[in-house]
Amino acid sequence: MEEVQQHDDKKSAVTDVGAWAMNVISSVGIIMVNKQLMSRAGFAFTFATTLTGLHFTVTAFVGFISNASGYSASKHVPLWELLWFSIVANTSITGMNLSLMLNSVGFYQISKLSMIPVVCVMEWILHNKHYSKEVKMAVVVVVLGVGVCTVTDVKVNGRGFLCACIAVLSTSLQQISIGSLQKKYSIGSFELLSKTAPIQALSLVILGPFIDYYLNGKFILNYKFSSSSIFFILLSCSLAVFCNISQYLCIGRFSAVSFQVLGHMKTVCVLTLGWLLFDSQLSLKNILGMVLAIIGMIVYSWAVELEKKAHARISLSKTSLTEEEIRLLREGIENSSTKDVELGDPKA
């Protein structure tokens, strides 16, 4: 029995690592592709919201094929929940794009880092979730590390601050909702994504060009497409499918906080790849920040493991009878048998 349990734990650990690896690789890959696609030195395709709509269009198409072929089963989720979730998710995307446009890169990075404590507070408010001292300490270390290696100039204005607040709150709520919807309706990550992707795709493809026009003053119909730019758009959409699936998969398996904390490994990877592939400068400050962030992620993983073991012990103690309880139960049965004999009650 123990061997079977160990085998299941090992299998679960492997699939957990696979989910994280898929998310990190696809996320880093899509950042590198989009950097080439959107930069002036590349193809100057500056239509981020519309591109996100195309990402969800391809994801919805993959989900449709999967359902039609019988590879994945479709479970019922109320339409109003899907619409509500899609509105929150689209608000997150739009808010992030507006925050990046209106604020400095430094403040944008700070707003992204603030998502970790915001998610913690929201999970405490919505689901009464508590965190150990070790987890809190690890979160602080990760935030400090990523902050040191990414935050430079910090400039903010009223509109930019409002957009950043909306982006952080909606993104945090979206990520918490992914996990809660999966648990509430016992639905898999890919099945949930298959239901939400078409709604997000339709709304972002329609509204995206107008949002992008507001952001950069350019309309997508005036963009001159080339075979190379189309290739990079398709490559970005393909990576987005894996990125979206792995995001739902990771949050469903772990939690929104874990996804945020370990997700900052992508920031470290992007900085490293930028240094290797694009001749970006890495200062001593960047390196020290990355080392601190990695230490924080390791400590966080250890702290979460401690929490899991503590919860398992509590659950075991609640469901298992103590020796004293077994003794009292045995004595109760014996006393009951004696009374039956004394009263002359017939026994089967």
Residue 318 pLDDT: 52
Is the pLDDT at 343 greater than 70? The verdict is no
pLDDT band at 97 (very low <50, low <70, confident <90, very high): confident
User: Bigger pLDDT: 71 or 2?
Assistant: 71
Using a 10 angstrom Cβ sphere, with 0-12 exposed, 13-18 middle and 19 or more buried, the burial of residue 19 is buried
- Are the C-beta atoms of residues 160 and 74 closer than 8 Å to each other? no
Is the pLDDT at 344 greater than 70? The verdict is no
> What does the pLDDT look like over 37-52, one tens digit per residue?
988 878 989 898 999 9
Residue 54 pLDDT: 94
* 241 alpha-carbon distance from chain centroid: 14
The pair of structure tokens assigned to 176 is 């918490």
d(CA 152, CA 159): 20
* Mean pLDDT value across the chain: 76
> What does the pLDDT look like over 58-77, one tens digit per residue?
999 998 888 877 776 667 88
- Are the C-beta atoms of residues 59 and 137 closer than 8 Å to each other? no
Least confident among 195-199, 236-240, 295-299: 295-299
Separation in Å, CA 123 to CA 117, 172, 176, 328, 334: 10, 9, 7, 41, 49
The percent of residues above 70 in pLDDT, for the chain, comes to 65
Nearest to 53 by CA among 192, 208, 182: 208
d(CA 242, CA 59): 9
Is the pLDDT at 84 greater than 90? The verdict is yes
Nearest to 35 by CA among 255, 273, 202: 273
Separation in Å, CA 146 to CA 39, 197, 266: 24, 31, 11
Is the pLDDT at 256 greater than 60? The verdict is yes
> What does the pLDDT look like over 158-191, one tens digit per residue?
777 888 889 889 988 988 888 888 888 888 888 8
pLDDT band at 202 (very low <50, low <70, confident <90, very high): very high
d(CA 331, CA 236): 70
* 3 alpha-carbon distance from chain centroid: 32
Report which listed range, 3-12, 215-224, 242-251, is most confident: 215-224
| Average of per-residue pLDDT across 7-28 | 66
